[in-house]
Amino acid sequence: MLSRVFQPIGREMGRRQFYSTIKYTDTGEWLEIKSGVGFLGITNKSQEEMGEIVYLDFPNEKQIVKGDIVANIESVKSVQEIKSPISGTITEQNSKVEETPSLLNERPMDSWLCKIQLSNEEELLDLADQ
């Protein structure tokens, strides 16, 4: 049960209430949890350090463990491997960001890379709230 690991933020939308929370890694990624699915992206600070992002590549692996590479981001300065902060199953990779990698520079907190169905919620304890 996710409530043991973190206190979700509730948002009332119409008649349904949605819960989510955002966690952060010490390597510049954010992970928004919504109903047991993690949306993984990079922070504003991370994209600023990378510079202009020009290319994004996703490995084919779907079953991942914490620390596996889930994306490679190429910028004018470097190539950055994005590692998953959690274990689980990648259920979707963001094709919009893959087609237009500059979205990661323009709106890093709105541009998720992939969705991961969590398999071990205890791993969320290793992530920061800010």
pTM for the whole structure: 0.84
Q: Is the pLDDT of residue 16 over 70?
A: no
* For residue 106, pLDDT beyond 80: yes
* Other residues' Cβ atoms within 10 Å of the Cβ of residue 102: 14
Instruction: Classify 28 as helix, strand or coil.
Output: coil
Mean model confidence pLDDT for the chain: 87
7, pLDDT greater than 80: no
pLDDT greater than 50 at residue 19: no
Question: SS in 3 state form for 66-98?
Answer: CCCEEEEEEECCCEEEEECCCCEEEEEECHHHH
- Structural domains of the chain sorted by starting position, each given as residue range(s) with its CATH number in brackets: 2-126 (2.40.50.100)
108 band by pLDDT with thresholds 50, 70 and 90: very high
> What is the mean pLDDT of the segment spanning 33-46?
95
Name the CA radius of gyration of the chain, rounded: 14
| 83 contacts 126 by C-beta, under 8 angstroms | no
